[in-house]
Structure 1
Amino acid sequence: MANDVCVSRNLTIVGGQLGIAPWSVFRLVADVTGTSTGDGALTAQTRLPGKLMIDQTVSWVSDSPLPSLMLLRVTRAYRSIITSTPNAVQFREAWETAVDATPRTPDPSRLVNSQMGTSFDTGTDNAGQPDYGRLYLHHDMSSSDNWLPDPLPAGATLNAHYRCYVWTPPPWSPNASEGQPLHEAHARSVRLQLFAAPTLDPSIQ
């Protein structure tokens, strides 16, 4: 009788019993939350990338002996904007990833992964002053799933860096809403999660 049995590295043998390795299933491997440091009153931010709201990183060192398929999930808290006619306010997000290295600093003036915002213009009075008007926008919580294009090698480290900015696309009217401007932006928070999915053991035919 043979004493050795060849099994996939997605399986384990402990005490003579066949089991399933932790890395053989789709699993959550990292979970962090970043809080906005810039919520509240907003002044003109007409040059990109704008005002930094959230700056957050997340990392994971692979414990699998096989390459892992990696998913980055970005979940935003509900966001809100107040703007006054005729101005615009927009959130812009970017994230970068790197393996065994530091990612580039995310810059939504170079690469935008997600954006949301609002603007409106109700016109002016006979004196050329903007009409009175304020817009309140509330955007529900949302998520983005992003599969990395290449598997993460065994034992490698995946690093991800996320940033959220707010800006006010030009032109900017300092006397908005009949000289009673009100502008606010609330990003609140973001949750970054890394998920690892298994790959087949090529040594097992």
Structure 2
Amino acid sequence: MLALDIVLERGARNGGGFRRHVSIRDDARVIALAGRSGAGKTSVLHAIAGLLTPCEGRIEVDGRCLFDSVAGIDVPVHARHVGYMFQDARLFPHLDVRGNLGYGRRGQGAATFGFDDVVALLGIGALLERRTTHLSGGEAQRVALGRALLSQPRILLLDEPLTNLDQARREELIPYLQRVRDETALPIVYVSHSADEVERLTRAVHTLD
């Protein structure tokens, strides 16, 4: 189950003068972050992943402290074991699908998610030899999700992964997101502006003001 405890303040020294206090506690394994643009949803994900350093506060995921300004704890990005799926797939154009998936396994220890299992889970076996430029938006996002899983994460962060897809591609991808939710034990934090997506993929919702 997910135990997420975040107190985040982002001050001017982190860029742009943006300042936000976010406090979330939830024992649900899958939660959604909702709210208007600029409310700090992506900043919360970046703080969990270690891509943004809070001015102060504490970040705890599944009983493991990742950041504590008082105790002087700031776990490096590579040691946080976070799988991050962005709005755009961010695949490597010089690699085919197999190469992109394999990149996620570099430098990792024992595998929780095996290559063949992830390929089967996401239905991307027929895509392995394709260049990324020959993928549809939905296919590219499935590959990006596979790469995130193959990084052997302890938590999965999904930052509006359907935003750049048309309705048909969204409907194509949602069942695969549901499979990841239902067939893995990963804690998941899902950011979306879409109430329909949130309802179909999560049960616990936190709205940032």
Range into which the TM-score falls when normalised by the shorter chain: under 0.3
Bigger relative contact order, structure 1 or 2 (CA pairs below 8 A, ≥6 apart): 1
Between Structure 1 and Structure 2, the one with more strand by share is 1
Between Structure 1 and Structure 2, the one with more helix by share is 2
TM-score of the aligned structures, taking structure 2 as reference length: 0.23
